[in-house]
Amino acid sequence: MEILRIDHTHLPPLSDSIACIGFFDGLHKGHQALILETLEQAEKESLPSSLITFDPDPWTIFHPDRKIYHILPLEDKMKIAEAMGLDRMIILHFTEDFAALSVDDFHLLLHHLHIKHLICGFDFAYAYKNQGNVDTLHNQNFFSVKVIDKIQDKNGKISSTRIENSLLQGWVLHAAQMLGACYSLEGIVQHGYHRGSSLLSFPTANLRLNHEYLIPKEGVYSGLAEWKSILYPSMINIGKNPTFNNDALTIEAHLIDFNKDLYDQKIRLYFVDRIRDEMRFSGVSALKSQLQRDILTTKEQLNEHSDLITTTAKLWNKNVFME
């Protein structure tokens, strides 16, 4: 997939393409509907398929004092977009000047990017103070437009906000059902307190995050750890280990029946389902007993949600799953 980072004041020469547009945080099922339509139209018209997005997050420009977290950082969007088969990702540099573009100037920008057919969501807004919408898009003459209606489940429209709320409540399975895949975090394995290996006989990979991800609610989860494109069954803990009174929040995973050295290596953790809240135990023995039960629950949940695991591996283009 070709990746183009573009400033709106200096446009490179581009060939014609079919494009979808949006910020795409999460690349959830609603976003995927736009991408699938883009791929279909591109194939029909024998043109490249493009995804147009923005960097940095517009919220960082409008609210510079806020700390912004993401369901899916830009680098992760690239990975999924490529795995879904898009030919091109156009990343428009979002600045105050870009935000001030008029509706007509925004249309002209897309025209100069050689967009022949644009796919967007029903609630897409753009240009100065979001004065542009699907009606103004339909009223321009540079390119044709297709609007994708909202994608719903039994609880309403699938949205990044609903996914964020589910993650903050620890409902990672609900989030996965809206995402179309397990929620995941990527980072580097770092040295922790070494209690897992020395005291508990449950060695864990302690994750230092690569990006400002939205972190699910503290607790214990069943999941997967990806190392070198292989997905390993894992039990994941987020929290401060109240039995040991840690000060800092940690994200760590016990890879089941795994004995390789992961220190300083990159892994990705995928959350399948929630097992329990973090608990304070009377001592090491009680904690070990609970962890053994959690391992059994992890295996049961992974078996129960095997379809979700298969879908996740496909979306992220991971072809090997070790049971």
Q: Which amino acid is located at 211 in the chain? A: H
The pLDDT of 37-57, averaged and rounded, is 97
The pLDDT of 22-49, averaged and rounded, is 97
Go through the domains of the chain in sequence order and give each one's CATH number: 2-153 (3.40.50.620), 159-321 (2.40.30.30)
Query: Is residue 162 pLDDT above 50, yes or no?
Result: yes
CB 126 within 8 A of CB 106: yes
Residues 294 and 275: their CA atoms lie apart, in Å, by 7
Q: Write out pLDDT tens, residues 262-275.
A: 999 999 999 999 99
Task: Supply the pLDDT for residue 262.
Answer: 93
CB 98 within 8 A of CB 61: no
The pLDDT of 117-145, averaged and rounded, is 97
Query: Is residue 286 pLDDT above 90, yes or no?
Result: no
Structure tokens belonging to residue 228:
């070198």
Task: Supply the pLDDT for residue 169.
Answer: 98
Task: Supply the pLDDT for residue 90.
Answer: 98
The pLDDT of 175-188, averaged and rounded, is 97
The pLDDT of 259-287, averaged and rounded, is 89
Query: Is residue 289 pLDDT above 90, yes or no?
Result: no
Q: Give the least confident one: 81-95, 116-130, 183-197.
A: 183-197
The overall average pLDDT reported for the chain is 92
Query: Is residue 130 pLDDT above 70, yes or no?
Result: yes
Task: Supply the pLDDT for residue 321.
Answer: 61
Q: What are phi and psi of 177, to 5 degrees?
A: -65, -30
Query: Is residue 201 pLDDT above 70, yes or no?
Result: no
The pLDDT of 279-303, averaged and rounded, is 88
**Nearest residue to 181 via CA among 322, 17, 79, 29:** 29
Percent of the chain with pLDDT over 90: 80
Give the per-residue SS3 of the chain.
CEEEEEECCECCCCCCEEEEECCCCCCCHHHHHHHHHHHHHHHHHCCCEEEEEEECCHHHHHCCCCCCCECCCHHHHHHHHHHHCCCEEEEEECCHHHHCCCHHHHHHHHHHCCEEEEEEECCCCECHHHCECHHHHHCCCCCEEEEECCCEECCEECCHHHHHHHHHCCCHHHHHHHHCCCEEEEEEEECCCCHHHHCCCCCCEEEEECCCECCCCCEEEEEEEEECCEEEEEEEEEECCCCCCCCCCEEEEEECCCCCCCCCCEEEEEEEEEEECCCCCCCHHHHHHHHHHHHHHHHHHHHHCHHHHHHHHHHCCCCEECC
CB 272 within 8 A of CB 224: yes
Query: Is residue 194 pLDDT above 60, yes or no?
Result: no
The pLDDT of 203-214, averaged and rounded, is 91
Burial of 97 (0-12, 13-18, 19+ CB in 10 A): exposed
Q: What are phi and psi of 269, to 5 degrees?
A: -105, 130
Query: Is residue 197 pLDDT above 50, yes or no?
Result: no
Structure tokens belonging to residue 10:
């200096």
Residues 280 and 220: their CA atoms lie apart, in Å, by 13
Task: Supply the pLDDT for residue 198.
Answer: 47
Task: Supply the pLDDT for residue 195.
Answer: 55
Query: Is residue 91 pLDDT above 60, yes or no?
Result: yes
Residues forming beta bridges with residue 271, ordered by sequence position: 183, 223
The pLDDT of 108-120, averaged and rounded, is 98
Q: Predicted confidence band at 283 (pLDDT cuts at 50, 70, 90)?
A: confident
**Nearest residue to 172 via CA among 266, 280, 75, 251:** 251
Residues forming beta bridges with residue 230, ordered by sequence position: 227, 320
**Nearest residue to 205 via CA among 226, 191, 223, 185:** 191
CB 235 within 8 A of CB 294: yes
CA distances from 281 to 241, 247, 250, 276 (A): 10, 17, 18, 14
**Nearest residue to 34 via CA among 107, 103, 118:** 118
